[in-house]
Amino acid sequence: MAAARKALNIRLPPLPSIKDVIRLYKLRALRELSQNFLMEPRLIDKIVRAAGNIENHVVCEVGPGPGGITRSIIQQAPRKLILIEKDPRFIPSLELLADACRDKVDVDIITGDILSTDIANFMPADVKTDWLDSPPPVNLIGNLPFSVSTILMIRWLEMISKQEGPWAFGRARMTLTFQKEVAERMAARILDSQRCRLSVMCQTWCNVNYKFDISGSAFLPKPDVDVGVVTLTPLKQPLIKLPFKMVEKVVRQIFSMRRKYSIRGAQTLFPEEVREEMALKMYQLADIDPVTRPYQIANMEFARLCEAYNEIIKKYPEFESYDYRAPKKDKQPQEAIEEK
């Protein structure tokens, strides 16, 4: 029988509790930065454990705040820890932690917005693996601020699709928290009432695993909603091998009329005068029943619909730039004339 691997565990010197850190540094939670701090070490460790073995890994934590999750990550002996925090008030308490593990973990503290920080700039080159290999020793972990979590996820999915940023180093894994409802949507499969654009987008590029819930009462201050912990591992091959923007457009329009037959949403991909004809052609090419509702379409069926759309666009390139949501240019003056 193989011997159990003995995990290297870093013991931190005695530190003030997170509650004391918040009090000592007068870190009043800011609503505008979605600051809800996790106070319970048992739950914090559970999130970090969900990331799997991170010993000797490069870990990037998004929004470390007062450093509860950061402590738990350090105890798992990563090689390098990149902390990206927008609120500079947390820097002294994070520096205290970096100091406590000096010589054992290389800690970079970046005061900045995760939406405009290129994590790749802080990654050591030697962690790079081939995309088709096992995931590299790189993990992105974060109790994400609600205000940016969905935007960030969509942005990261686009980067994954292009193998950019942290994903230029291979199929880096993510362990992230979201509002419970958003986490459920990300993992929702066909026929699930939560199924939406985010489900199809996440599952097209990643293996999505809903790990567990955390009650809102575990946070300080308590948010109005519960939280879901999700892990995502980029797929070796995306389910849809087309550009991100094109997939996003097709999936978004199909889900734009959730309760109607899905072809109604697909019609909005095309200008009014050809809408019915082109959407029907798209469904025929994809071999999908037009009276299917959006949540009844499987990921691979979305793949066929996107490919069918791509075929139509190749034949009629003028439809590609059509945007149903753009203001109708010629209607404005006409309406104005009629009003006079």
216 is in an annotated binding site: no
CA distances from 214 to 40, 46, 142, 183, 202 (A): 11, 10, 14, 11, 21
Whole-number minimum distance, CB 269 to ligand SAM, in Å? 32
Measured from the CB atom, is 35 or 175 closer to ligand SAM? 35
Whole-number minimum distance, CB 30 to ligand SAM, in Å? 7
CA-nearest of 16, 9, 105 to 61 is 105
121 is in an annotated binding site: no
165 is in an annotated binding site: no
Whole-number minimum distance, CB 37 to ligand SAM, in Å? 4
Contact 84, 144 (CB under 8 A): no
273 is in an annotated binding site: no
Check whether the bond before 223 is cis (ω within 30° of 0): no
Measured from the CB atom, is 35 or 203 closer to ligand SAM? 35
Measured from the CB atom, is 115 or 191 closer to ligand SAM? 115
Query: Which residue do the tokens 């999700």 mark?
Result: 230
63 is in an annotated binding site: yes
Closest-CB residue for ligand SAM?
63
Residues that bind ligand SAM (CB under 6 A): 33-38, 62-65, 68-69, 84-87, 113-115, 143, 145, 148
d(CA 47, CA 24) in angstroms, rounded, equals 26
143 is in an annotated binding site: yes
Tokens of 179: 């509002």
Measured from the CB atom, is 158 or 301 closer to ligand SAM? 158
CA-nearest of 142, 196, 203 to 174 is 142
Whole-number minimum distance, CB 308 to ligand SAM, in Å? 38
Measured from the CB atom, is 35 or 262 closer to ligand SAM? 35
Contact 273, 293 (CB under 8 A): no
Which helix (H) or strand (E) covers residue 231, if one does?
A: strand 227-234
d(CA 69, CA 48) in angstroms, rounded, equals 7
Whole-number minimum distance, CB 148 to ligand SAM, in Å? 5
DSSP tag of 204: H
Binding residues for S-adenosyl-L-methionine: 36, 38, 63, 85, 113, 143
